[in-house]
Structure 1
Amino acid sequence: MPQRVAVIIPAHNAASTLPQQLEALAAQRDAPPFEVVVVDNRSTDNTAGVAKSWGAGVVSAPRRRGAPHARNEGVRETDHDLVLHCDADDIVNETWVADLVASLRVHDLVGGSTSLARVNDGAVAASITSPAVLGLPVCMGRTYVLAGNMGYRRGVWVDIGGFDESLDSGHEEVDFTWRAAASGAAVGFVPSAIVYYRQRVDLRSIARQRFNYGRSFAQLYSKHQHEDIPRVSAKMEARKIAMHLLGARHLVRHGDRRRPWLMHSAWVAGRIAGDLKFRVRAPG
């Protein structure tokens, strides 16, 4: 019997971007039959209505905010053998489903590549680096699968208890991958499965997102600090932060550096806040 496939998309106030993702999924080539499930996580717009208008199933997840909870609720409400995840504000390429499913014949957990083309203007795309182009991204010296471009056998999710919902500001996919690999899951990279990642444009929104990522990075470290995680000395970390702050003097002459400088500054501030909250010294 063919394995049943579900594409589960967490969504919060995504009515404006979700149609592009659903259109891309409707145009998949060479894919096995699959069901699209949009998990409405406390939306106040017409996210659910948009999903239904495209024929997608809708699961409501109002109990807790955050993508980890939404993904878990989506998996709980379905019984498919294979689960794929993408995000409501990105766009998958034409063979995304087929390529991830094919790789899951030999792997238990897989991730694809990302591109900043197609959904970002040139200035935004040039200011940052795609997290997964030539291979799986790396965090604290270890690879992981991006949750916005992920596929796995349902048994992986069952074995490790799903996504850690306390990591609701980021890095839940890092924790998920590490726990899956520790349980014996075979992890693979699928470069042909591409997600066109939409970067935020508003600088305040970017700073808030990066601050949250920095804080969740410290939270992730607090959970895994007893594992073999490489780190540098406190002196070296302080020097790196000082050099970054000194770089601010060049921002007046080089306006193209402002966005990446702000993004990193917010991340460092968030990491320091996370260190204080979780009483750790996460690696820089």
Structure 2
Amino acid sequence: MNESVRPVSLVSVVMPARNAELTIATQLEALRRQTYPDLWELIVVENGSSDGTRALLRSWQQAMPQLRVVDAAEDCGVNVARNIGCRHAHGDVVLCCDADDMVAPGWMAGLVDVLRTSPAVGGSLERRLLNAQVALAARPPKEADALLDTFGFLPYPAGANCGFHKELWSHLGGFDESYRYGSDDVEFFWRAQLAGYRLAFSPHAVVHYRLRGETRAIARQLYRYGRSHPKLYRDFAGHGMPSSRPGDVARAWWRMLVHAPDLVGSADSRAAWTAQLALRVGRIVGSVRYRRCYL
């Protein structure tokens, strides 16, 4: 892709939504307050909600003319929803966000400014505003001054705060829909880099990121994340993704053993311990399922 300055005539924001009745209004209001001065559209992909999400979206369409709702109830999955949203997008560039977060006022402008000279971009995730201490103990805030780099291989933006030229999405054949929960964003942006596309970071594109608030929900999410990691390793080991190091794995399990008394401690310590256990158990299950050892 030519990385000279490219005009952007229309921005498409794609937001998957599933059972988001309690949070999506906050995100829609945040999108309505964007400082970006030019044309944009919002495509909410309704992904099989069983709560009042659909009715709420219908009411918002009256007040938000740039909002379109696309039905994707027959096949649930975040990458399924993203692909459907991208297929309905009319814009030169696509920005992705989630229905349970809150974009900062300069989010759209921050991503689009970088996309004028880069094929893909990620912004920063701010975790403190929307989350209680229990959630922050389980998933502590990280530095928000660069793309994520969890696996020691290639960086990547979170799917909750990213953007790309639609041309890139088309060239890659879209998001991999076999990644239904966990590593769905990692896979796409790794594949983009391996295809020769450059990723950039926008510090001005901030998303206030909402974590799961209860220990059981936190553990379920971390388990699913962990289960996806051996699949990543299966798909990218041949491109240089390193294996999990036995010493790191042993130290992680030893820390959990040493801190096992945290289970009868404070809610914060219980959530942090349970989250780590769920991640590691997920990796074991994923290693069996995908026949690749990544612990």
**TM-score over 0.5 (shorter chain):** yes
Question: Which shifted more, 231-240 or 21-30?
Answer: 231-240
Instruction: Indicate if the aligned counterparts of 1:137 and 1:145 stay in contact, CA closer than 8 A.
Output: yes
User: Displacement, 1:253?
Assistant: 4.7
> Corresponding residue for 1:281?
293
CA distance in 2 between counterparts of 1:62 and 1:132 reads 36
Instruction: Indicate if the aligned counterparts of 2:135 and 2:218 stay in contact, CA closer than 8 A.
Output: no
CA distance in 1 between counterparts of 2:50 and 2:157 reads 30
User: Displacement, 1:235?
Assistant: 5.5
User: Displacement, 1:229?
Assistant: 1.9
Q: 1:178 to 1:232 in 2, by over 3 A?
A: closer
User: Displacement, 1:184?
Assistant: 1.5
> Corresponding residue for 2:254?
242
> Corresponding residue for 1:262?
274
Question: Which shifted more, 235-244 or 145-154?
Answer: 235-244
> What amino acid maps onto 2:105 in structure 1?
E
Q: 1:160 to 1:251 in 2, by over 3 A?
A: same
Q: 1:15 to 1:240 in 2, by over 3 A?
A: closer
CA distance in 2 between counterparts of 1:242 and 1:269 reads 14
Structure 2: state its 5+ residue gaps.
1-6, 62-66
Q: 26, 35, 50: which one pairs with 1:29?
A: 35
CA distance in 2 between counterparts of 1:146 and 1:35 reads 21
Q: 120, 129, 142: which one pairs with 1:118?
A: 129
CA distance in 1 between counterparts of 2:205 and 2:258 reads 40
The correspondence of residues 136-151 of structure 1 with structure 2, limited to 5 A, is: 136-141=147-152, 142-151=154-163
Instruction: Indicate if the aligned counterparts of 2:121 and 2:200 stay in contact, CA closer than 8 A.
Output: yes
> What amino acid maps onto 1:149 in structure 2?
N
User: Displacement, 1:60?
Assistant: 0.7
Q: TM-score, normalising length from structure 1?
A: 0.93
Partner of 1:169: helix, strand, or coil? Answer: coil
Question: Which shifted more, 187-196 or 112-121?
Answer: 112-121
Q: TM-score, normalising length from structure 2?
A: 0.90
User: Displacement, 1:182?
Assistant: 1.3
Q: 1:149 to 1:233 in 2, by over 3 A?
A: closer
The number of equivalent residue pairs is 283
- The superposition leaves residues 80-120 of structure 1 with CA deviations (integer Å, 9 ceiling, x where unpaired) of 21100000000000011111111101111101001112211
Question: Which shifted more, 60-69 or 152-161?
Answer: 60-69
The correspondence of residues 171-190 of structure 1 with structure 2, limited to 5 A, is: 171-190=183-202
Instruction: Indicate if the aligned counterparts of 2:137 and 2:272 stay in contact, CA closer than 8 A.
Output: no
- The superposition leaves residues 132-189 of structure 1 with CA deviations (integer Å, 9 ceiling, x where unpaired) of 6121111321211110001100011001111111110110111111111111212001
Answer yes or no: is 1:43 the counterpart of 2:54: no
> Corresponding residue for 2:219?
207
Identity %: 37
The correspondence of residues 44-63 of structure 1 with structure 2, limited to 5 A, is: 44-55=50-61, 56-63=67-74
> What amino acid maps onto 1:227 in structure 2?
H
Q: 1:121 to 1:237 in 2, by over 3 A?
A: closer
CA distance in 2 between counterparts of 1:253 and 1:151 reads 42
Partner of 1:226: helix, strand, or coil? Answer: helix
Structure 1: state its 5+ residue gaps.
none
Instruction: Indicate if the aligned counterparts of 1:128 and 1:260 stay in contact, CA closer than 8 A.
Output: yes
Superposition misfits of 4+ residues, deviation over 4 angstroms: none
User: Displacement, 1:122?
Assistant: 4.0
Partner of 2:193: helix, strand, or coil? Answer: helix
